[in-house]
Structure 1
C-alpha cells in the first residue's frame, strides 16, 4: 500500500521530503510477479488516467512534482512512483482514495491541526503516525477517524487483525473473527419448561 498523504511538521518538511524522494526515486517498477519489482502495474488504464488527472490537477493548483508524476511507458498501466510537494488539503489528490503510487506531502504546525487535516476526508481506511510520547500516541490514536491505526509502524496488516475502514472506505471488516461475523446471523433461543 502507498500512504497517499504524509503530514510532516513544518520544521522538518524539507528534510523529510528530500529523504522520501531519495527512497521513492529508486523503487523498481515492473511485473508484479517478478521478484525484483517493488511497484507493480495499476489495475487498469482507467486507474492510470485517474492518477494522471489527479497529479495534473494538483500541479495546476500549485503542487510541485518532486519525483515521478507520469506513466512509465506510454500505453502501459505502470505509473512512476510519485511524490508531490506543496500540496493543499483542498486538492483532489488529498480527498480521493488513490490506490496508486502517489504520495502527497503536506505541512502541519501542531497536533490539533494535523488531526483535523487527517480527518478532513470522505474516507477513513488507515492512518500511521510516529511519536516518542505515549500520551500523544493515545490522544492521536483516539482522535483519528479511520479503521486501522499504526503507531510507529506502517506495516500493521495481518490475518489476525480486523481490516476495514470507516466513512466511505469499505463496508464492515474482513480478517480475524470480525470477517466471519459479517456472514453470520445471530439467533436467540430460549427454552422454557420441557
Structure 2
C-alpha cells in the first residue's frame, strides 16, 4: 500500500498489509483521493478493490495512462473537479433553461 500523503514528485512509499480489505481501509481514511494504482495477481481482484477505492482514477497493473476522452479528477480534497472530456468542460458551464412564448 502506498502511503496516504499526497506528494507531487518522483516519490513513493510502500507498506505491507495483511489483506486487500486492510489496504482499502488505509487508502480511504485520508482526506485526498486523486489517483490510485493497484498491482494485484488477477484483474478481478483489482476491479473489486477499485469499486471500493475513494479515488478519482484507478489504474490496475499498469502505470499512469491518460486519454482525453476519459475524465480525470480526484475525490475528497484532491483536485479541482473533473478535467478533460465533456465532463471537464461541464465544470465551467452554467446550465440555464429559458422559456419563450412565440405567440404575440
Q: Distance in 2 between matches of 1:123 and 1:187?
A: 32
Q: Distance in 2 between matches of 1:133 and 1:161?
A: 20
Q: Distance in 2 between matches of 1:96 and 1:169?
A: 11
Kept in 1: contact 2:4–2:26 (CA 8 A): no
How many residue pairs align between the two structures?
A: 102
Instruction: Decide which of 28, 33, 53 is 1:124's aligned counterpart.
Output: 33
| CA RMSD between the two structures | 1.9
Q: Which has the higher contact order (CA 8 A, sep 6+)?
A: 2
Following superposition of structure 1 onto structure 2, how do residues 86-97 of structure 1 map, counting pairs within 5 Å?
94-97=3-6
* TM-score, with length taken from structure 1: 0.48
Q: Which has the higher helix share?
A: 1
Listed as ranges, the gaps of 5+ residues in structure 1 are 1-6, 9-93
Q: Which has the higher strand share?
A: 1
Alpha carbons of structure 1 residues 189 and 159: separation in structure 2 relative to 1, 3 Å = same
Instruction: Decide which of 120, 139, 143 is 2:52's aligned counterpart.
Output: 143
Listed as ranges, the gaps of 5+ residues in structure 2 are none
Shift of 1:186: 0.5
* TM-score, with length taken from structure 2: 0.83
